[in-house]
A and B are shown apart, each in its own frame.
Chain A
Amino acid sequence: MEEIRTDVLVVGGGPAGLSAAAEAASAGADVLIAEGDLHLGGQLVKQSHKFFGSKDEFAGTRGFEIARLLRDEIAQCGDHVKIMLNTTVSGYYPDEKLVTAMVGEEEYVHISPKKIVLASGAQERLIPFPNNDLPGVYGAGAVQTLMNVYGVTPGKRVLMIGAGNIGLIVSYQLLQAGVEVAAILEAMPRIGGYWVHAAKVRRLGVPILLRHSISRAIGGDVVTGAMVCELDEKFAPVGEPQKVDCDTICLAVGLTPSNELLWQAGCKMKYVPFLCGHVPFRDKNMRTSNSDIWMAGDVCGIEEASAAMIEGRIAGMSAAASLGFKVSSENFEGCHARLHNLRAGEVGEKIRIGVSGVTVDGWEANV
């Protein structure tokens, strides 16, 4: 079988992967982006809200427009970047340093990269409750895909589970699409997402019920409602469950890193609750314990896209530098400073603690 050769393989064409590819290519490396979807941009293409951060992270710009800016940046790199869409990287064989991938449903290919940046993102968590297999129970990502990629509303009245940023933002997008949001349930005693995102949906009349969760979905063939219960300090139900009429139940209860390839590559991993799953140890330039593999974005810990883009730039520059391409130390310092600033607030505290527990000194010196 013919092997596709490249300097740097970037797995995943979301915000982290595109940023990594742009940096590695502009340093002079030949880059291949393998993206499972039919288009580049990852979750950014579904984000109709304006982003936070500073100008460097495109603050005030809507997510899908940031995807366009990153695609433009990739296009500027010309022949240095090749793109394989509809391509799912399925395996990594450390002994041969060989990557296997499926293109579409029929074609199987081998890729032989000198270095790899894994930016495979995250997958949604689900919570168990009776009838959670009824049609009408969705993950928040699916609701966003239906609405913002395909222009289809998932239902007429939605019960949202989870008041993190995704639950809050998707609730707002549902309202924009003319869908009623019956309530947002949050098991914790406070919202998990940005306060201003919650304020946006509250003032449009959406209740946010803290210390509440779903106890079961109701319906015969499809969802017609849900039973909602209050929780005590130990997250045990208290009082009589209340019925909420809805035709859609949307789960926005968190993400966990899509880390399968990191396991296959033998990267040293650790379970870090604040980063939402098993994540690899890394040096400050995003290199894993496997000296051929870097990573960026949600795969190394669940965080905002603005941080993913900076991590991608660091990983892309570092991977290129390891191949002898010249990258100025100022570029690294600038990215590290921006990442530090993004994480400096109260919302970044868990990320700071999580990342510090898996950051290792000195791997970058082995270049």
Chain B
Amino acid sequence: MNDLVYARRKKVNALMFALTAVCATLASGTLLAILGYIAWKGGSSLSWSFLVNLPKPVGEHGGGIANAIVGSAKVVGLAGVLGIPVGVSAGVYLAEYGRGKYAFSVRYAADIMNGVPSIVVGLFAYALIVHPMKKFSALSGSVALAFIMVPIVLRNTEEFLRLVPGTIREAALALGVPRWKVTLFVILPTAGRGIMTGALLALARVAGETAPLIFTAFGNRFADNGWLNPIATLPHTIYTYAISPYEDWHNQAWAAALILMAFVLVVNVTARLWLRPRLT
């Protein structure tokens, strides 16, 4: 009798762990499946001319996505220029001076911003810039993406600053270095690698954002035409091509997805490798 119970318990044990192994395989296999499929589908329609040419007029075969690549770089770049300094400064403020009501409300606001769906951020940029100017623009897209970046960069900066040992601060202060110099020239460089990696990851994250760009940067089939005009971006091009009825555009969507995915992947893997010696 006892043996029977024991055998049953062992069986349950084996069964449940087999199930969890299946779960783990599924969860991690998904990434491989996605990467493999994109590489296969995208690779077959990727070519040099696809990267350096503008889209052909609707209905004509071929053409490239040069404008979307340039557009993404511009929109994401400006978002970084707007968002990273704000995120890093606010992160420094919270880590080094972060007490009291004001700091609490800043942290709270950042938490809320972090949870706001990206489409709502797009609505905000629309109401703030597109609606008053009566025009879709690259600038409004950048503002939306910057808004998404700020809380990510902030959280990351604060976390890495908190890892800096207090003894380093004390040593610098004991030498009579003013507090602002300690922060800028001792503490920030110590955490610099982590902060920069975080900023890079935030850039990669917003480079894949589509929702906030649909009605801000809007998309454009022609070469980039300045900050105050609609601009094509990679994720948005993938979206419009994917839902279009043309076979040729579908193939181009896969090729564009391959480029976007490669960028995101390279940044993420580099960030991870770069940070590893730091963390262990």
Chain A partners chain B: no
**Interface on A for B, CB 8 Å cutoff?**
none
